[in-house]
Amino acid sequence: MENQGLSETGFVERPSIPQHTDFLRIVHWNIEKGKRWALLERCLDSEAINSADILCLNEADYGMARSGNRHVAFEIAQRLGMTAVFGPCFYEYTKGIGDERLSPGENSTSLQGNALLTRLRVVE
């Protein structure tokens, strides 16, 4: 997904099985860019996150120094065994604001967006 533009949506599909059969559990999570990765990793062990069939993420960085130049949504999806769809919202032309400006390294892709992670089949 190198050089992904704002008009392109990223997609990674994994075979997954819904956690529930008689209802859907949907969780919305503002991951604050993914810049506190150690905290996010601990949250991934929580029942609320692990029992979600659909996980909606906002403020998801892709290639930002402040979040370790990760594709944050795709890494979370991989750890949870979920399919992910990422929609970029804007280019971040700086490292961010406040202490984010002191992040080591440079931005690689410089995108921030929203993502939908799911255990359900995604149809186009």
pTM over 0.85, yes/no: yes
Instruction: List C-alpha distances in Å: 11 to 33, 73, 115.
Output: 19, 10, 10
- Give CA angle at 110 (99, 35), nearest 5°: 40
pLDDT of residue 19: 80
Tens digit of pLDDT for each residue in 33-49? 999 999 999 999 999 99
Residue partners of 39: CB distance under 8 A and separation at least 6: none
β-partners of residue 107 are none
